[in-house]
Structure 1
Amino acid sequence: MIFGKFDYINLLPLTIYLKKYPLPNGFKAVIFYKKGEPSHFNKELFYRRIDGAMTSSIESVRKKYKNLDVGICANKRVLSVLVEKDSIRAKDPSSATSNALSQVLGLKGRVIIGDKALKLYIQDPSSYIDLCYLWYQKTNLPFVFARFSCMQKKVYFSKILKSFARQKIKIPQYMLQKYAHKKDISTKDIKYYLNEVIYYNIAYKEKKALKRFVDAVKFKKEI
């Protein structure tokens, strides 16, 4: 089994969870990881080169996909999906969802996502627009940036991930320090981001938000 995972801080809890998860008796498949950007896994899953992955939420609504109520969500702010103020419009090739969100919010600057965006925002928040913050101001809803999707083995993935979204995953200190060094972001800021900003359970409000977003993209309407 091939599991796609992009190497962002917001998926660090999932990495820890999967490392500790005991495969149930009768499951002989081994989970392998392919690392890449979120948009890369949209294509990988579409062409069945991987079995499951966190895909861009705008892509996850394809009829061929089976989705779990597990994703990357934020409410009121996200800190890592930004548009640079007073900049020329430019898409971030890493994320289909973030580019689409920028458009439906009527923004025209440079889209920046992921750990590089988080670092920039921490350094100078006044230079960037937090897309989740603006979305919340206009809709009073959270936002789903990615969703776990597969085309088969949904029961298998559900069994593995069913408790992940509701658990508080403790990140070992050595792993925090490793990512702090790798991403040039302090352990304090990483812990705040994971504990106070990002969450993974897709419930009623998240589904409502996703539908509103998808409809806006489909009908080319600004929020």
Structure 2
Amino acid sequence: MVFGKIDYINLLPFHVFLKKSSLPSAFKRSCEHQKNVPAVINHKLRKRKVDAAFISSIESKRKNITPLNVGIVAQKNVKSVIIKEGVSKKDPASATSNMLARVLGLKGEVFIGDRALKLYLQDPDAYIDLGQTWNNKYHLPFVFARFCVNQHQRFYKKLSKKFVQQPIKIPNYILSKYARERGILEKDIKEYLKLISYTIARKEQKALFIFLKKAHQLQ
């Protein structure tokens, strides 16, 4: 079994969950070997080079992929998916966020992930938070990614269900490591993770339906 890993802070709780789990060490090592940005992981899942991953919501509608009710969700603001108004420029690492900017009628340069979080924290007034803008317009959370599977569905369904059922505490040494590597203060990482949830329930399903419908109209 091969899981595609996106090494962003918003999935840090999931990576800690995997690290602490009793899963085979070979499986845990395979996650590190398949580590990449969302756009590449999307492609790998589509080509069946990995059998499960958190992938862009816009990609989760593909017929040969089974989406689960687990994902990366922002209830309101998100800080790590932002746009700087001006000349349009997509973030090559993302598919959903680029489309979200279009759905919201915003033009500018899109930034996602840890780089975006760092930029936003340095100068929040210079950027528009796409999660907050979506919530202002639709009064719904936004689902940026979904846990999707193309093989070993029973295993991954059990794994993802277990993840959302238990609170995950990030060890201090891991927080410190990410803070050093990403140039983001530990306290800011903790505050940021409070904005992220992982269960796709009724409101999240409704938001996803609206987004995918509007995205389809633009394609």
Per the normalisation by structure 2, the TM-score is: 0.95
- Distance, in Å, in 2 between the alignment partners of 1:88 and 1:165 is 39
Q: How many residues in Structure 1 have an aligned counterpart in Structure 2?
A: 216
Aligned to 2:101: 102
CA 1:180–1:29 in 2, change beyond 3 Å: closer, same or farther?
closer
Residues 155-195 of structure 1: per-residue CA shift (max 9 Å, x gap)? 1101112121232210000000000000000000001111x
Could you tell me how far 1:30 is from its partner in structure 2?
2.9
- 1:88 to 2:93 alignment: no
- Distance, in Å, in 1 between the alignment partners of 2:71 and 2:100 is 16
Aligned to 1:218: 216
- Distance, in Å, in 2 between the alignment partners of 1:69 and 1:214 is 16
Question: Which of the pair is proportionally richer in helix?
Answer: 2
Counterpart amino acid of 2:12?
L
Contact kept, 8 Å, 1:16 with 1:171, in 2: the verdict is yes
* Alignment gaps of 5+ in structure 2: none
Contact kept, 8 Å, 1:17 with 1:169, in 2: the verdict is yes
Aligned to 1:36: 36
Contact kept, 8 Å, 1:83 with 1:109, in 2: the verdict is yes
- Distance, in Å, in 2 between the alignment partners of 1:30 and 1:197 is 29
Partner SS for 1:218: helix
- Distance, in Å, in 2 between the alignment partners of 1:197 and 1:171 is 15
- Distance, in Å, in 2 between the alignment partners of 1:83 and 1:142 is 18
Q: Which piece of structure 1 moves more, 131-140 or 155-164?
A: 155-164
Aligned to 2:200: 202
Aligned to 1:176: 175
Aligned to 1:16: 16
Per the normalisation by structure 1, the TM-score is: 0.93
What value does the CA root-mean-square deviation take over the aligned residues? 1.5
Could you tell me how far 1:28 is from its partner in structure 2?
10
Aligned to 1:146: 145
Aligned to 2:123: 124
